């Protein structure tokens, strides 16, 4: 046996491995609150629902950095926020809204409300300096025609009050899905109408497979009915009358919300006054 330590074979080193407990998986981070809250609604949708502007205008303001959510500037389209988030507009956006025009036009028969169709001109062509109502304190400015659009329809065979606006807030108030603004019409009819038919005009009719909202319908005089509606389906009053055996021979809208046609002459227009609200 060799006792010389220098000549002994080296012992293999034994490596001790300690077991280390696996680290717990990190808890899922809570979604950030405020302007980037993925649990919330799109900021543009919230703005439209609150009547701050239309969704299209909201997107434009967001892109320009003119929207603040809970005090933080928002610039990214599609940003979401909590439903109760505080949303404000920069002063520049408010100033722009203040310059947006809303007009009242007494639409004649023969003009369509929106885009030209079947050779008929849109009612907006009637807006100009020569057709402005006498006594309107605010004079015509060509800039009021840019982006001017009807807030609601009035068919080619009808006359009366038509609202034209550059303001998305006004458009949404009058024609939004949740609009509750009354529209009043005087409707000349031919035919006979019994008590049951009159009751159906007030509530119980359907168009295009969908029940109509309750209306207020009564006799204005012996050949003219007064309709008050809170919706505006295409040719709604004419179709309602047909369902109860009446034929419409004349239709005139005289009021939208609290704004009346008044003595505005046919084919003329005026600005919505500061003291007028729908």
Structure tokens at 183: 């529209």
H/E stretch holding 72 reads strand 72-74
pTM summary value: 0.73
Element (H, E) at 229: strand 224-229
- Digits of tens for pLDDT over the chain (278 positions)? 455 544 555 554 545 444 445 555 554 444 444 455 667 899 998 988 887 888 888 898 999 999 999 999 999 998 999 999 999 998 888 887 778 899 999 999 999 998 877 788 999 999 999 999 999 999 999 999 999 999 999 999 999 999 999 998 899 899 887 889 999 999 999 999 999 999 999 999 999 999 999 999 999 999 999 999 999 899 999 999 999 999 999 999 999 999 999 999 999 999 999 899 99
Catalytic residues: 155
Ordered by where they begin, the domains of the chain are 34-98 (3.10.290.10), 100-177+258-278 (3.30.70.580), 182-256 (3.30.2350.10)
Instruction: Kindly tell me the sign of the dihedral angle through the C-alpha atoms of 183, 185, 190, 192.
Output: positive
Contact 182, 231 (CB under 8 A): no
For 86-108, the three-class secondary structure string (H helix, E strand, C coil) is CEEECHHHHHHHHCCCEEEEEEC
- Secondary structure (3-state) at 201: helix
Tell me whether residue 16 is exposed, middle or buried, using C-beta atoms within 10 angstroms of its C-beta: 0 to 12, 13 to 18, 19 or more.
exposed
Token pair in block for residue 240: 């309602």
Q: Burial-class residue 122 by CB neighbours within 10 Å (0-12, 13-18, 19+).
A: middle
CA separation for the pair 130, 170 (Å, rounded): 25
């Amino acid at each position: 046996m060799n006792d010389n330590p220098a000549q002994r074979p080296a012992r293999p080193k034994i490596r001790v491995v300690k077991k280390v407990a696996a680290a717990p998986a990190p808890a899922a981070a809570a979604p950030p609150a405020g302007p980037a809250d993925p649990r919330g609604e799109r900021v543009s949708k919230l703005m439209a629902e609150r009547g701050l502007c239309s969704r299209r205008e909201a997107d434009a303001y967001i892109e320009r950095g003119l929207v603040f959510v809970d005090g933080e500037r928002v610039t990214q389209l599609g940003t979401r926020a909590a439903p109760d988030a505080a949303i404000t507009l920069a002063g520049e956006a408010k100033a722009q809204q203040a310059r947006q025009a809303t007009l009242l036009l007494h639409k004649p028969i023969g003009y369509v409300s929106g885009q030209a169709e079947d050779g008929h001109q849109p009612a907006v062509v009637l807006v100009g300096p020569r057709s402005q109502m006498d006594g309107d304190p605010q004079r015509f400015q060509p800039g009021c025609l840019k982006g001017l659009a009807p807030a609601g329809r009035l068919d080619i065979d009808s006359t009366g009050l038509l609202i034209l606006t550059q303001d998305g807030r006004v458009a949404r108030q009058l024609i939004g899905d949740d609009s509750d603004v009354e529209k009043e019409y005087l409707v000349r009819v031919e035919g006979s109408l019994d008590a049951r038919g009159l009751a159906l005009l007030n509530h119980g009719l359907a168009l295009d497979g969908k029940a109509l909202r309750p209306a207020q319908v009564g006799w204005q005089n012996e050949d003219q009915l007064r309709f008050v509606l809170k919706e505006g389906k295409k040719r709604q009053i004419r179709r309602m009358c047909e369902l109860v055996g009446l034929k419409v021979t004349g239709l005139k809208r005289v009021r939208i919300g609290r704004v009346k046609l008044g003595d505005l002459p046919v084919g003329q227009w005026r600005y919505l006054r500061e003291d007028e609200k729908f």
